[in-house]
Amino acid sequence: MAKKTKAPAAETPPEVGGEYTVVARRYRPQQFAELIGQESVAQALRNAIQTNRVAHAYLFTGVRGVGKTSVARIFAKALNCVKGPSPTPCDQCDICKAIAEGQDVDVQEIDGASNNGVENVRMLRNNVATLPQRAKYKIYIIDEVHMLSAGAFNALLKTLEEPPKHVKFFFATTNVEKIPLTILSRCQRFDFGGINTGRIVEHLKTIVKTEGMQADEEALRIVARRAGGSMRDAQSLLEQLLSFGSVKLTADAVHQILGTAADERVVEIAAAVLAKDATKALGLVAKCADEGLQIGELLDQLVDYWRGLMLLNCSGGEVGELNVADHHRETVKEQARALTLDTILAGIDILTSTKNRLRNTSHGQVLLEMAVVRLSRLDDLVPISQLSQWLSQPGSAPAQSPRPGVTSSVVSLADQSKKNGLATPSEGFRPGVNGSNSGPETRSIILDLSDANLYEVWNKVKSSAGIMLSGQVSRASVPAIIGPKTLVLRFPAEYNHAFEYCKDPKQSVILERSLREITGQEWSVRFEKAELSVAVATVAPPKSGRDRQQQALSTPLLARIVSHLEGRLLKLDEGFGEDSPDDEPEVEPEA
C-alpha cells in the first residue's frame, strides 16, 4: 500500500453533510515507488515498461488490502499516460486523474463477484474489438476474478489468449486456487505478500501526523497487529479510532474500542496457566468477560502469545517481532526457556482447536475456560508412547466389570506394571510440575541404594518422577552404578527422541531429587546413547507334548519299532530326540 515520500498537507475536516473521502482512499499509492511491501512486483512491472515487454494479461494474487488493485491502476496509468508508456506516470494529465478516480472511459474496472455470468463476458468480448477513445490501450481490471463462473471462464479463454494489440487484462484475486489452470497459463502471475507490522506502523505514523492527530506508538502497533498484514485494514481501523474523539490515541483507548485485552492481562493469564494455577487463570478469564472483552479476540491474543513462545524456544531467545509490548519480552523469554517445545506445540494445538470450535457455539467463555484448564494440566497428560507401553504388557487389558456377587481375580494393570518396572497411571500422577509433590509412600522409607535393591529403588524413582518423564526414562535399560553415587542410563539408538528429552538438565534434577528423597543421599544421573541397537535374542516357545511325540515318531528306528509292535508312545523323557551341538552323528555300519 501507500508510502508517502512527502506527507501531503492535512485536509480540513469536512462540514457536517459535506463529502468525505476515507483515509484508505486518500492515502492510496499513486506511483510504483509508493508501494509498501511489494517492491519486487513494482520493480518487475517498471522493467517490463522500460524494455517494452508488457504482456497482454497479468494476475495479481494475495490477501486483502495489500495493493493488488492499486498496482493495477498504477500500471494502467503508466501505459496510458500522455507522457508514456512510462514507469513514472505524471499524475497531472486528464487520463491519469481519471484512472486514479476510476472514471476513465478506456480503463474499465469490473467486479467479478457481481458480473460473473457468461452474458457479462460475452459483452466484454464484443467491446474488446473497439479501439480506445483517447488512450493507447483499452484496459480491463477484473477484481475478485475467481468469482467468475465456469462458463464465463470458458468464454474468456480465446479472447484472453489472443486479444487485440490495444487490449490489456489485469486480474486481481484473493483465492487463486479457484481459478482454472487454463486461465493461469495465459497470465503472468505476481504474488503479493502480507505487509510487515513494522512497516505498517511507520506508515500509520505518517498518516496520523498528516491528519494533525497524535497517537502512541504502542497504540499504532496494536492496530498494525490487528490488521494481519493488510494495509487497507490498518488504515480503516485507524480512521475508526481517530473518530473516537480523543486528542491522543492511546493503547488503552484501542483496547477499549476493539474489545481486546491489554498485554498485561494476557501475560497474567499465560503466567497463571504456566504456573499450573487453573483457579487464577479462570478468575482472569471471568474478569475479562465481565469487562466486556471479546472472547474470540482474547483467544487470538493467546494464540499469538503461544506462537511467540514457540519462536523464542526454537530460536534460543532471538526473534525480531513479538506480539507483546517491549517491556514484556524478557518475561516471555523466561517462560519459553522453562518449557519444552512439545509442551508449547501442544498448547498451540489446544488454542487453535478451541478457536475453530468457537465459530459454531454461543458458549465462547466455557470453551476458553476449558482451554486454559487443559493448558494448565499439560504435564499431567499421558503420552501415546506410554499408553502403548502399558497396553502392550500381559494382563494390561481392562477387566470387565464383575456381576454382583462375583469376585474378580484379574490381575490389575497397576500390579502388572509394577512387575515390569513401568509407571502406572496411579503411580505416575502426582500434583505439581513433573511430579514435584511426590506421594508420602516414597518419602517415608529410606533405602540405601545398592546393586541388590537397584531395581526396586529405580521403580520408586520413576513413580515419583511424573508420567511423562517416567515414560521416556523407561526407554532406557535399567541403570547401572558406575562410580561413587553415580547412575548411568543407556538408551538404544532407536530411542533418540527419549534420550534428547531426558538429557535436559531439568529432567536430571527431577530424578536426582527423587533419588535423594528415597535414599537419603545425593546421587547423580548420567545419560548415554548406544551407537547401535543391541539385538534382542528371541526364545523359542516350549513345544507341546503332542509336538514332541510327532518329532519322536519321525525318528526312523522308533517309527519301525512302533509299527512292528503295533504300539503307541506312553511317555517321553525330557530331551529325547534333541541334538546337542557337541554331539557327532553316528554312522551305521554297512550290512
Q: What was the pLDDT predicted at 317?
A: 65
- Decide: 479 and 458 in contact? Cβ < 8 Å: yes
The pLDDT, as a whole number, for residue 169 is 93
Q: What local confidence, expressed as pLDDT, does residue 49 receive? A: 93
Note the pLDDT tens digit of each residue in 261-279: 787 888 889 889 888 888 9
Range 263-380 classified under CATH 3.90.1650.10: no
Mean pLDDT within 14-20:
55
Task: Choose among 97, 76, 85, 1: nearest CA to 47.
Answer: 85
Q: What is the mean pLDDT of residues 552-564?
A: 73
pLDDT (0 to 100) of residue 189: 93
Q: So what's the pLDDT on residue 534? A: 43
Q: Which CATH superfamily is domain 413-529 in?
A: DnaA, N-terminal domain (3.30.300.180)
Query: pLDDT-derived band of residue 411, with 50, 70 and 90 as boundaries?
Result: very low
Rounded to whole angstroms, the Cα distance separating 420 from 476 reads 13
- For residue 104, pLDDT beyond 80: yes
Give the pLDDT band (50/70/90) at residue 575.
low
pLDDT, average across residues 65-89 = 90
Q: What is the pLDDT of residue 57?
A: 92
- In the predicted structure, residue 494 carries a pLDDT above the cut 80: no
The pLDDT of residue 70 is 92
C-alpha pair distances (Å), 448 with each of 114, 444, 522: 83, 13, 11
- Which among 73, 35, 99 has a CA at the least distance from the CA of 170? 73
Q: What is the pLDDT of residues 116-161, one digit of tens each?
A: 888 888 888 888 888 888 889 999 999 999 999 988 898 888 888 8
How does pLDDT run across 359-399, given as a tens digit for each residue?
878 888 899 999 989 988 886 665 565 555 555 554 444 44
Return the pLDDT at 392: 55
Among 293-297, 426-430, 563-567, top mean pLDDT goes to 293-297
Higher pLDDT, residue 71 or 507:
71
Which residues partner with 172 through β-bridges? 60, 143
- What b/e string do you get for 316-352 counting C-beta neighbours within 10 Å, with b at 16 or more? eeebeebbbeeebeeebbebbeebbeebbebbbebbe
Pairing of strands 167-173, 138-143: parallel
What is the CATH number that goes with domain 38-192?
3.40.50.300
Percentage of the chain beyond pLDDT 70 is 76
Instruction: Look at residue 453 in the predicted model and tell me its pLDDT.
Output: 78
User: Greater confidence, 401 or 217?
Assistant: 217
The rounded percent of the chain whose pLDDT value lies above 90 is 15
Question: pLDDT by residue (tens digit) across 275-330?
Answer: 888 899 899 989 888 888 888 888 888 988 888 888 888 887 676 666 677 677 78
Residue 74 has what pLDDT? 93
Single-letter code of the amino acid located at 155: A
Q: Is 365 exposed, middle or buried (0-12, 13-18, 19+ CB in 10 A)?
A: middle
Residue 440 has pLDDT above 60, yes or no: no
Q: How far apart are CA 49 and CA 39, in angstroms?
A: 16
pLDDT at 424: 44
- Is the pLDDT score of 473 beyond 60? yes
Other beta carbons within 10 angstroms of residue 7's beta carbon come to 13
Helical segments of 32-139, H only: 39-50, 68-80, 94-101, 118-128
| Domain residue ranges of the chain, discontinuous segments joined by + | 38-192, 212-258, 263-380, 413-529
Q: What is the pLDDT of residue 4?
A: 42
Give the per-residue pLDDT at 456. 80
- Residue 207: pLDDT above 80? yes
What secondary structure letter does DSSP report for 186?
Answer: T
pLDDT score of 566: 67
| Cβ burial, residue 359 (10 Å; 0-12/13-18/19+) | exposed
Map residue 143 onto helix, strand or coil. strand
Asked if the model's pLDDT at residue 48 lies above 90, the reply is yes
Q: Is the pLDDT of residue 206 over 80?
A: yes
- Judge whether 263-380 and 413-529 match in fold: no
Asked if 421 and 458 count as a contact pair (C-beta separation under 8 A), the reply is: yes
